[in-house]
Structure 1
Amino acid sequence: MPLIPALDRLSRRVVAVALIAAALTGGLLAASPAASAQADDTDGISGAPSTETSADGRSRFSYQAAPGQQLTDNYIVRNTGTTPKTMKVFATDAYNTEDGSYGLLDTGVVPTDAGTWLTFDGGATQLDIPLDPGASQVVPFTLNVPADAAPGDHAAGIVISVTGAEGQILVDRRVATRVYVRVPGDLQPALTISSIAADYHGELNPLDGKTTITFTVQNTGNVALGANMLAGVNTYLGIGVAAQVRQELSEMLPGSTRTITMTVPGTGQWGYLNPYVMMQPTVDEEALDPGPLPTVSRDTITFAVPWLLLVLLVIVAGVYFFIRLRRARDEKTARDWIAYTEAEARRKAREQAEQRSTISNGS
């Protein structure tokens, strides 16, 4: 009898497990198409300069505009994804990031320069544009250069922002197009090297080390500038001790600062080293003519002590002086031995002479 209730309980458990498994299987099968559909959904946005109807092939907006001037242009916005999206379109100021890239202020940060000069229909500073997948819309805008705009290059960007949730995280996807507004007047192109330092990294071969030169570049003028950079290392009397290294400095916006490191290989351990950097500024082909662009240079001092060579010299000198000392000691020992043997010979000769004299007197 006790076995029947046990079997009954066991059968009920089996049935319960089977029902749970069936429910889970059905739930997974029911959820599978939806999950697949969500996985196939993609978010895509793009924007480009355009005519009144379509993109015109420009990669950026670049204007030469006097203070108080007004310009109009167009921007096309596309939904390249698979779901309907509302595109937020606005303009904001540009800056250089730490790695030198062209950056734009975050969506919630209020611009203060060229980002405030650009408005849309009705003077709006931003638009919300709903677009179905594959749809696009041309957005006209107006650029109003203030009457008191300072001369030089002003950088901004037109941004398309789409905000969406990814799990528990709210993600802001953005694409942007650069905007340059070049205001004529007193143009002052000025790149400066505000600091420089160098470190030497030696190798086993005393003629095969490397020197790293770290320096800070500032654009203290009002014109966006790049530069062709040249780094090298001299030693006594300005003699070069390594091949020069060339590198391109990407565009720096006015007011930006960047720290750069260049490595000069093949630097010998000559003791005194004089690393240097030279920069020849360059300007964008669409920029206003800023006049002459003088070369900028700066140098520093570091030391590369040839420790291995010094150790070898110390060892050689030690061996040399040891041999000299040993030779001098051996020579002294030889002289002392000769003196001793000569003294002994004289002593024996005297003794023999005395013995002969004593024998002669006794006779």
Structure 2
Amino acid sequence: MPRIRHALGAVLLVLAIGVFPFASGSAALADDATPPPGDVGVATRPAGPDGRPDNRARFSYTADPGQSVTDQVYVGNTGTERQDFTVVATDALNGPDGAFNLLPTAETPSGLGSWVTFENGQNRIQFSLEPQEVRLLTFAVAFPADATPGDHVGGIVASVVQEGQQVNLDRRVATAVFARVSGDLQPRLTLASFDATFQGDWWNLFGGTLKVLYTVNNPGNVALAANLTMSTATWFGIPAAGDQGGSTPVLLPGNSATYEFDINGVGQWGYLNPSARLQPFADTTDVSQQVLVTPVSRDTVVVALPWTLLIAAAVVTAIVLLLRWRRRRDEARAQEWIAYTEQQAAAAAEAKVRAVAAAAPADS
């Protein structure tokens, strides 16, 4: 278990920075930057067969059930005080938002983490490091004879517990481990749900936003990321907004995650048909681990009423109805006046006739 101190250790720590840091109960992939005096600093970095740090961002293996592989990792103290380290192999999972998480340090793994053993024959090892000191750890990954085909994912976590006045802070840095068991690979992602709502100012006909909420499932046995294309159409399939792209992070087998996406510049066309297309892929530079995956798509219908046009139409309709009512009222009044004048004229004529008739005998 070689230890390298002082100048060489400082060089290796500089090389080690940039993999994956976490704090508290979950681990994310990276490492601590140089801390202020008295702070905790943790770093990990994969190492090659020659014991030198290499450029791998993660540990990646492919093997048959029953086989075993050996590898090395550097763990370093980038802080300014002596620290007690716990290095543990554990299992990975996705959070509800798709974030890559690792089990808490104290939790016993049941998956890939249980396949890993360090120099002490266990899946965790403890030691102390002085400031700027690094330690090269050798570990083995033993693929069980009954391991199921596909990707099994975990991480090598370096943990330092920093004691506080009220709570302890678990400072963790990890490097992900992807172990693929050969056999029948079933790479697949599904869009389990896809919903959208329209948001926008009532007076702005073309400046709305579709708020999309969608859930991606990985029912297969291969860890997959995906490129995402969001589209929106309206009546007769006419595009209502330009295609907008995005991506989803690596989703581990058996996991699901829910994401949000905003489609901007959508008009109030009444009928909107947003859709998503996922093109999954294995997020690795190793050509041998690339797989062909069928794209998946899903759509929904959203009602986006053009309130400005509806209000304008309502005003125009009200004006037209008012004018028609006034015209009918005026026509009715005109008819009434005509009838009245005709009645008065007839009455006057009749009175005149009667007057003439009454005056006739007196003249004779």
Letter in 1 for 2:264: P
Structure 1 residues 185, 43: closer, same or farther in 2, change over 3 A?
same
What's the CA shift string for 1:256-315, capped at 9, x where partnerless?
A: 111112222233333333222111112123264564311101122232233443333233
- Whether 2:33 is the aligned partner of 1:62: answer no
- Residue 349 of structure 1 corresponds to 349
- Trace 1:227-238 onto structure 2 (pairs within 5 A): 227-238=226-237
Instruction: Indicate if the aligned counterparts of 2:281 and 2:291 stay in contact, CA closer than 8 A.
Output: no
Q: What is the TM-score when the length of structure 1 is the normalising length? A: 0.83
Partner of 1:339: 339
1:243 partner amino acid: G
Deviations, residues 2-22 of structure 1 (Å, cap 9, x unaligned): xxxxxxxxxxxxxxxxxxxxx
- Could you tell me how far apart the structure 1 residues matched to 2:287 and 2:158 are? 26
- Alignment-mate amino acid for residue 195 of structure 2: A
Partner of 1:19: none
Q: What's the secondary structure of 1:168's corresponding residue?
A: coil
- What does the per-residue CA deviation read over 1:204-246, in whole Å, with 9 as the maximum and x for residues that have no partner? 2234322212111101101111111122223333333222221
Distance of 1:59 and 1:202 partners within structure 2: 42
Report Cα offsets for 1:303-335 as digits up to 9, x if no partner.
223344333323322221121111111112112
Match of 1:319 in 2: 319
> Equivalent residue for 1:151?
149
Deviation (angstroms), 1:122? 4.3
Q: Confirm whether residue 116 of structure 1 aligns to residue 101 of structure 2.
A: no
Larger radius of gyration, structure 1 or 2? 1
Give 1:129's match in structure 2, choosing from 127, 130, 150.
127
* Counterpart for residue 299 of structure 2: 299
TM-score (norm 2): 0.83
| Structure ranking higher in helix proportion | 1
**Partner in structure 1 of residue 262 of structure 2:** 263
CA–CA distance in 2 between the matches of 1:119 and 1:287?
Answer: 28
- Residues 73, 338 of structure 1: alpha-carbon distance in 2 compared, 3 angstrom cutoff: same
Matched, 1:214 2:213: yes
Q: 2:196 aligns with which of 191, 198, 202?
A: 198
* Partner secondary structure for residue 326 of structure 1: helix
Q: Which residue of 2 aligns with 1:49?
A: 46
Q: Is the alpha carbon distance of 1:113 and 1:209 closer, same or farther for their aligned partners in structure 2, counting shifts above 3 Å?
A: same
In structure 2, give the amino acid aligned to 1:333.
R
Q: % of aligned pairs identical?
A: 40
Q: Given the alignment, which residue of 181, 196, 208 partners 1:183?
A: 181
Letter in 1 for 2:55: G
CA–CA distance in structure 1, aligned partners of residues 249 and 291 of structure 2: 20
**Using the alignment, how far apart are the partners of 2:198 and 2:41 within structure 1?**
48
5+ long unaligned stretches in structure 1: 1-38
Q: Gaps spanning 5+ residues in structure 2: where?
A: 1-35
Query: Conserved in 2, the CA contact under 8 Å of 1:88 and 1:160?
Result: yes
Amino acid corresponding to residue 125 of structure 1 in structure 2: N
Distance in structure 1 (CA, Å) of the matches to 2:319 and 2:297:
47
Alignment map for 1:101-112 (pairs within 5 Å): 101-112=99-110
Deviates more, 1:273-282 or 1:39-48: 39-48
Q: 1:334 to 1:238 in 2, by over 3 A?
A: same
Provide the rounded CA distance (Å) in 1 between the counterparts of 2:37 and 2:121.
Answer: 39
